[in-house]
Structure 1
């Protein structure tokens, strides 16, 4: 039987009696998401009650005249949410309706007019700026650093959690090792060996509450060793700079170009340590290339310390993997990673490997901070890692993220044809730069006023540079990405064409 693809058909006349589904209603490139939403709504409103059976994927795909993969992915998403489950010959059965949110209470009358949404951009960004931007209302969120939260594998997590709970003794619920649960440290060591080329003993792994805590612990330890300045990439993560400064460590900006950090400038800075994102530099997306890596290793061999934030290393699409710096010089590299971009930031779980001379001090700092991470999530993650579930999840996410990246690039070409796109080969965001003439903070503020969130590139710069935006695509739908980029294009064109503003009228100034 031939399995070759059938030629494209006109979907305008197709549909299914089942839930009166019509694929013509789906946005371009969003068939699976549209079908998932229609099924989820039918479960919620009772048209698909608990215990009812969904059509076979092959049958529904034939009725809708779409590929079977579209239906399979929609069913898979519902399975991960715990709303349906496969029952073999009994088919796919509805298990539970989504929990309805509590009815909204009427808001009390405001005592003062609410500030405009763009006010988050009216001052230089402080430590609270990310919380302020996250809480600002918007239709479309193109903030970087956010994975596909809707794809969290709820069903797999619940299975792993039930399996773990079935094996725990009463004593396992007591205080654990401040370094982390032994089973999870072993799973992390195996994960890093398989996926990042890092060979480590489980005893070297310190479990932390994300990379942010890893930086806090390292800042405390380095200050104890007399290191109170750390070189950072420019442009580079505003959040990482803030974290170091919060722990009284000054930062020295070192330029990044198309090959990664300028190691000659790093030498000139005189810094004893440097914080890098070498696998996928934030925000430019460049990879630290071979010559720069060798030059950096020579710098480290002369006494420098590298802090490697393995940011977005797993999410690559159009390039081969690059080894972690830790795999080259374990005695000169502190390595930090997390599951925030693999699964969800809400788990607050990551890992830190440090040179042997710093290990005891880091463990002591972790013990003093919180006595160690919660043990149960570590054991669940260990099971997901060792069972292969997490790697299967990563392969699925790569396909989904690639499609969304392509949707954003297409939208940028359509709505911002003069903009330059950087860092498309990997990661969960793109950096977009455009010609000077309007400030990127002003663009971001105007876009937020129209319901679209984005980071101005200047937030992540130390020195002057061309304006731009940092745009995340992993958490959005293709239609949402298209709409959000269209708004950005309209905002940018409107600001470029506007007459010169009169001073003193409250116009948001561009920030450098």
Structure 2
């Protein structure tokens, strides 16, 4: 919508904005105003303060505000006219960066990918990474990144290393503790990529059923007694596909079961800093046995290919041997460290997490109106029970909707479900309601077919 077509909205004063701006840099101002626009607190048509007025109120240079306004114009959030000044434009509501909904076939409803619109900018991070030290040694993890990840690591790690993304980190971790032919205990249902990773490594998998709080201790004890696995593998937060985070009491109960056995534990924290729950780990109860794997790709995007592994030196050494002589760019590592310690990025992360939660809740509520329950307290997806998987998926595919197969989340058989990714859902309630109706019709059709 052009500036001249926007309805007149009272201007906001510089004092109102100043009370909400934390970091007084161009990036901080742009991040704050962007969030206020996207959250609806500053509606389209609102006239923003002049550069000089806001700069004076913030006690910063007018150049700082001009640069912030330039970033917002580039993002398509504001425009400047000769007579009306700087005005807020209609924010993008579709999942694609272009802001135009082009059909459900263009929306990721299967893999749980992040929304590019909600990823933080990388310019300042890469610039900080370029200004990196170049030591003569061959330390795998830079001092800056090690310092950044230590602040909220759930237990004191003896050693650290890095991998090229969460999938690579989990592959290295599992191969470090299990050889082809070995058996591991794996929570079920689980992320399909994690199950595929183990199977492709020719590692046998025995499922440990989950409830709303994570792997069930009694079921884990039975698996340990019957199958004698060499490792236990599970997700700590925003579990795929169920969406739970393991609470501290369940961690303690699992630790009590595992304390009777001598096996390694691999923990996957795939959502990383976007998870709403605090970091937890069996490492606080089982020192020397737990390898914690945290990915930052969903939060910051795949370009940095960042995943950090921390745990006992013996397990980290095994990971390094499997990793081989390759090394990770120190520039990218320190760019990651910048993002983890930058206050402006922290604000953007909290806003992204809130937006993802709103999208997940919107679809869950819309499905409930169709009489369909859905699980998913955190993360980028919902877990939906159905009567018949294949027919339901086929009915959705006919409408251009590609959802995930529930059977791919089980090492053996399991009750039929759909996985529906929510991270890239449009923010338009009408479109979400339309998707829920399509899912409802497909689920109903599957019920009729299963009866026939």
Who is 1:469 aligned against?
A: 418
CA distance in 2, matches of 1:440, 1:86: 58
Aligned alpha-carbon RMSD (Å):
3.6
Residue of structure 2 aligned with 1:336, choices 289, 293, 301: 293
Alignment match, 2:21: none
Aligned mate of 1:256, from 210, 225, 238: 210
**TM-score normalised per structure 1:** 0.65
The 3-state SS of whatever aligns with 2:162 is strand
Per the normalisation by structure 2, the TM-score is 0.73
2:209 is paired with a residue whose SS is: strand
Give yes or no for the alignment of 1:481 onto 2:435. no
The answer to whether the Cα contact below 8 Å between 2:107 and 2:424 also exists between their aligned partners in 1 is no
Give the Cα–Cα distance (whole angstroms) in 1 for the partners of residues 350 and 366 of structure 2: 25
- Once the 2 structures are TM-superposed, how far is the Cα of residue 314 of structure 1 from its aligned partner? 3.9
1:198-237 superposed Cα distances (whole Å, 9 cap, x missing partner)? 3336xx110111222222222332246x982111112112
Correspondence for 1:305 among 254, 264, 278: 264
Q: Tell me which moved more, 281-290 or 244-253.
A: 281-290
* Paired residues of 1:140 and 1:484 also in contact (CA < 8 A): no
1:433 and 1:467 in contact (8 A); partners too: yes
In the alignment, structure 1 segments of 5+ residues that lack a partner are 1-15, 24-53, 75-84, 99-136, 502-512
Residues paired across the two proteins, number: 379
Q: 1:299 to 1:499 in 2, by over 3 A?
A: closer
Q: Is the 8 A contact 1:335 1:352 kept in 2?
A: yes
- Is this contact kept in 2: 1:431–1:471, CA < 8 A? yes
SS of 2:299's equivalent in the other structure is coil
Note the 1:488-503 alignment, pairs <5 A: 488-497=439-448
Q: Residue 496 of structure 1: CA displacement?
A: 3.7
Is the Cα–Cα contact under 8 Å of residues 473 and 481 in structure 1 kept in the other structure?
Answer: no
Structure 2's unaligned 5+ residue stretches are: 9-29, 49-61, 76-103
For residues 364 and 497 of structure 1, do their structure 2 counterparts lie closer, same or farther at Cα, with a shift above 3 Å needed? closer
Q: In the alignment, is the contact (CA less than 8 A) between 2:178 and 2:230 conserved in 1?
A: no
The 8 Å contact of residues 143 and 470 in structure 1, kept in 2 or not, is answered as yes
Structure 1 runs (4+) deviating above 6 angstroms are 69-72, 94-98
Task: Kindly state the Cα deviation for residue 261 of structure 1 after the two structures are TM-superposed.
Answer: 1.3
Q: 1:257 to 1:353 in 2, by over 3 A?
A: same
Query: What does 1:58-457 align with in structure 2 at a 5 Å threshold?
Result: 67-68=41-42, 87-88=64-65, 92-93=69-70, 138-154=105-121, 157-165=122-130, 167-168=131-132, 177=138, 179-190=140-151, 192-193=152-153, 197-200=154-157, 204-223=159-178, 228-269=182-223, 270-301=228-259, 302-312=261-271, 314-316=273-275, 321=278, 323-368=280-325, 371-414=326-369, 416-417=370-371, 419-424=372-377, 426-434=378-386, 436=387, 439-457=388-406
Q: 1:363 to 1:406 in 2, by over 3 A?
A: same
Taking structure 1 as reference, are residues 161 and 411 closer, same or farther at Cα in structure 2, changes over 3 Å only?
same
Alpha-carbon offset, residue 274 of structure 1: 0.9
In 2 relative to 1, CA 212–67 (structure 1 residues): closer, same or farther, beyond 3 Å? closer
Tell me the secondary structure at the aligned position of residue 185 of structure 2.
strand
For residues 329 and 69 of structure 1, what CA distance do their matches in structure 2 show? 52
